[in-house]
Structure 1
Amino acid sequence: KEKIICHISNFRPLKRVADVVQIFGMIVKERDCRLYLVGEGPTKHPAQKLVEKLGLEEKVCFRGNVGEVSRILGKSNLFLLPSQQESFGLAALEAMSSEVPVVATRVGGLPEVIRHGKNGYLAKVGDLDTMAEYCLKILTNEGLAKKMGREARMRVLEKYYGQLCLFDFPQQCFVFSDS
């Protein structure tokens, strides 16, 4: 069955969307999957060009800004966040609240949220090979993926429950609850 990898961001250079595409290019050689890129911003057009250059048009879907990211996350098997810099890591938290394991970089607040090897994996910025390897671990091991997804949701509920609204995208409020 085809797996879904998701990346949600504001498509700024610090989000390293080209890294997302390159990592996906490595993964798709090993595992049948699709990439959803959600958001808008200045690096979207270069990312589209890279997708074409790598011949991935059939496997990569640019979704633009969507109101209900939870619907996309509900279909996702993995959240990929290779950022050069993150403050709080809200997009990762949203993915984790939907029981989606995260593969991200060890920057900003992400190491506080993601417990390496428990609810996701962390790698150095720019280490695309390691990130692809971590993604494949999750995508090829259903038991590991489910366990990490449950651990991810529990982490959000334990550490962030009660913080009702956290803002990331303009006019969008994410609510974390136990429902």
Structure 2
Amino acid sequence: MRGMTEQPERWTQASVHPDMWADPADDPRNSEGPSPDGELATLEDYLANYRLTMRMKCEGLDAGQLARRSVPPSTMSLLGLVRHLAEVERDWRNWITDGEPLPKLYGARDADFDGAVADAAVVEAAWRDLAREQAATDAVLAEHPDLGERLGKDGVSVRELLVHRIEEYARHCGHADLLRECVDGRVGQ
């Protein structure tokens, strides 16, 4: 394990633009052609791209690297971010339902980050949890295509929830940029 003062050499897989994660032809987020039609399709496209970005920032790392808390004293790690996003997807469903809230996935406050340990089973479970929670929230929202519709006890609009989801993923993708660079030096958008 490298010491706190040692920094990995910066690198990228891109050869066209040195500040990119991958060359445009190899970037699965790079879609040629027209942008989606309509507000809902545009919001869903942004959300899908940020979700994919988070996955890309974690690719190629082992459990130890994913669990590394690269910026002490923060407890944040790439694995912790994956677990946190699973937790917030579940919580967003609590915002828009009238029933009893679903329990937290990982327990007490900050357990999503505190439980992000260097164990392959924990990593696999985190990705399964995230996929399941994303699909469940997506399914609930698919039943409400009117962006102005208000849901749940607090009357949260579908639009507000979608924008908040995009904001959450975008913010954490920024964290993932920095965490990944600290882990192995890889840079890029």
RCO comparison, higher one (Cα < 8 Å, 6+): 2
The structure with the largest strand share of the pair is 1
The structure with the largest helix share of the pair is 2
Larger CA Rg, structure 1 vs 2: 2
TM-score above 0.5, yes or no:
no
TM-score, normalised by the number of residues in structure 1: 0.29
TM-score, normalised by the number of residues in structure 2: 0.28
